[in-house]
Amino acid sequence: MTLCGLTLPLRSCYSNSEKTWSERERRVVGRFRLLPWEYGVRNLFRRPSRTVLTLVGLTLVVLLVLTVVGFIRGLEASLTISGDPRVVLVHAPGGSENVETSTVAGRTGPVLAASVAAIQRRYGQAYVSPEIYLGTRVTLAKRCDPTLGLVRGVTPSAQLVRRQVQLIEGRWPGSGQVIAGRLAAAKLGCRDDELALGQTVSFEGRTWTICGRFAAGGSALESELWCSLSELQTAMKRQDCSLVAITLAPRTSPADVDEFCKERLDLEIQATSEVEYYANLQKHYAPVRAMAWLIVGLVTAAGVFAGMNAMYGAVLGRVKELATLQTIGFTRRAILISLIQEAVLLAAAASLVASALAVLLLNDSAIRFTMGAFTLRIDGPALLWGCGAGLLLGVLGALPPAFQVLRLPIVDALKSI
C-alpha cells in the first residue's frame, strides 16, 4: 500500500472489528514506530495554497512579536547607554527625575570648577559643562505647525564632558547656529533632509541655522538640538541654567561632589550620578515596558488561536488519512508527533522569514517617544523571543485539532468524507 509516498505492506483484514496480524507484519510495523520524517515534509507540499497562507499568517504574528520586543530592547538600551559612570549631574533639589524642571544659578559652574577637587582637569581646564535643557516647540523651515523638540544649550566644554558625542558632519555651533542629533528628525517627526546642513529651525522666538550633525552612541542625547548656551539664555531672557554636568577625576566618586553640594546651602544644589539618573528614568518607564510585554503575550496568544484555526482546517481534511495510518499499525502518539512536526516546520520557516524581514526592515528604525527618540533593536535576545514564540505557535496550534481527530473511532473516521 502506498500512502503519500510511504510504501508499507498491508495484509490486514477485519473480522468482527478485530485486526489480525502475521508475525512478519508485526516486525515490519515495529520498524516504523514513528512516521518517517519525509512524510510530514511531503504533506506540507500536498496543499501548497493552504501552506502558503498559514506561513504568511504565522510570519506576520512573529514579525509583530519581534517589533514589540525590539521596541522594549531599544528603549532599555537607550537608557542604559545614556548613563556615563564618570559624569555627575548637579541640579536643583527634586530634579533628579526630570532635569527639565531644574534651575541652578549661573555661577554654579565656576564655583564647582574652583572648589571641587574631584573634578577631572587637563591643562588647567576643568571638565564642567553648564547646560540648559528644555522641551520646546520647534518649527521647521518648510512647515507651519510647530512640534515638540528637545533643545540643549551648551558651551564648548560640553565636548569634554559628553565623551560619547561625536560630530559626524559640519562644525560646532556658532552664533545663531545649532547642531542636530542623529535622531532629532525622528523626535520632530520629519525627514532627515529637513534637518540637513543649511536648513533652518525656529524656537524660543529665534531662527537658527543647522551647521552640523552629531551622534552619541545611541544615547538619548541623539534626539536633541544643541546651540550656544549664552545665545539660548538671551533668547529665553534668563541667566540661570538647568544643570551642570561634570566629569569625575579617576579614583573619585559622586559622593565627593554630593558632599560639597550639601555644604553649599546658598546654591541649593544636589548631585546625582548620570547612571543613577537614567536608572530612575528606567523605573519611570517600567509601566510602559510592562504594557509592551503584555502586548507580546496577547499577540502570541492571538497567534496560537490563529494557528489552531489553520491547523483545524488542515487536520479535519485528513481524517480518513489519519485513520488509515492507524489501521496499518501506527499508534496515535506517532501520528500526533508527525502532525506536530509539520506544524513546527511551518512555524520555524515563518520564524526565519520574519527574523530576516525584521533585521532588514525594522532594525535601527527610529521611534519617537516622550524622552526623545530611540531605535528598534532587533538583536540576539529579540530574535530568540520571536523564534521562541513562533515555535510555541507551532506546537500549541497543532495539539487541540490533533487530539480531536485522533479521539474518533477508527471505523467512524474511515467512513468520514
User: Measured between alpha carbons, how far is 328 from 217 in angstroms, rounded to an integer?
Assistant: 64
Q: Are residues 42 and 149 in the same domain?
A: no
Asked if the model's pLDDT at residue 320 lies above 80, the reply is no
User: Measured between alpha carbons, how far is 218 from 229 in angstroms, rounded to an integer?
Assistant: 24
Most confident of 7-11, 274-278, 283-287: 274-278
Q: Are residues 236 and 294 in the same domain?
A: no
Q: Residue 273: inside a domain, yes or no?
A: no
Q: Residue 114: inside a domain, yes or no?
A: yes
Q: Residue 91: inside a domain, yes or no?
A: no
Q: Residue 281: inside a domain, yes or no?
A: no
**Number of structural domains, the chain?**
2
Q: Are residues 362 and 401 in the same domain?
A: yes
Inter-residue contact 242 to 91 (CB < 8 Å) = yes
- Report how far apart, in Å, the C-alpha atoms of 130 and of each of 39, 106, 196, 233, 350 are: 71, 8, 27, 12, 52
Task: Kindly report, residue by residue over 118-134, the tens digit of the pLDDT.
Answer: 999 998 899 999 999 99
* Residue 387 CB contacts under 8 Å (≥ 6 apart), including other chains: 62, 348, 351, 352, 355
The identity of residue 43, as a single letter, is N
Of 374, 370, 375, nearest in space to 358 by CA: 375
Q: Are residues 248 and 371 in the same domain?
A: no
Of 84, 383, 355, nearest in space to 219 by CA: 84
Q: Residue 278: inside a domain, yes or no?
A: no
Higher-pLDDT residue of 236, 40: 236
- pLDDT at site 33: 66
Q: Are residues 306 and 256 in the same domain?
A: no
Q: DSSP for 224-280?
A: EEEEEHHHHHHHHT---BSEEEEEBPTT--HHHHHHHHHH-TTT--EEEEHHHHHHH
- pLDDT at site 96: 73
Asked if the model's pLDDT at residue 10 lies above 50, the reply is no
Residue ranges making up the domain that contains 254: 105-267
Q: Are residues 72 and 213 in the same domain?
A: no
Q: C-alpha cell of 116?
A: 571641587
Q: Are residues 133 and 176 in the same domain?
A: yes
User: Measured between alpha carbons, how far is 163 from 372 in angstroms, rounded to an integer?
Assistant: 20
Q: Residue 86: inside a domain, yes or no?
A: no
Q: Are residues 182 and 124 in the same domain?
A: yes
B/e letters for 253-267, b = 16+ CB within 10 Å, e = fewer, are ebebbbebbeeeeeb
Q: Would you give the end-to-end CA distance of the chain in angstroms?
A: 21
Q: Are residues 233 and 295 in the same domain?
A: no
Q: Are residues 324 and 396 in the same domain?
A: yes
Nearest 5 degrees, angle CA 179-CA 183-CA 189?
Answer: 105
User: Measured between alpha carbons, how far is 59 from 355 in angstroms, rounded to an integer?
Assistant: 9
User: Measured between alpha carbons, how far is 244 from 317 in angstroms, rounded to an integer?
Assistant: 71
Residue 333: pLDDT band (50, 70, 90) is: confident
Mean pLDDT value across residues 21-37:
55
- pLDDT at site 127: 95
Residue 48: pLDDT band (50, 70, 90) is: confident
Q: Mean of the per-residue pLDDT values for the chain? A: 83
Q: Are residues 140 and 259 in the same domain?
A: yes
Asked if the model's pLDDT at residue 374 lies above 60, the reply is yes
- pLDDT at site 289: 82
Q: Are residues 259 and 313 in the same domain?
A: no
Most confident of 35-49, 70-84, 121-135, 300-314: 121-135
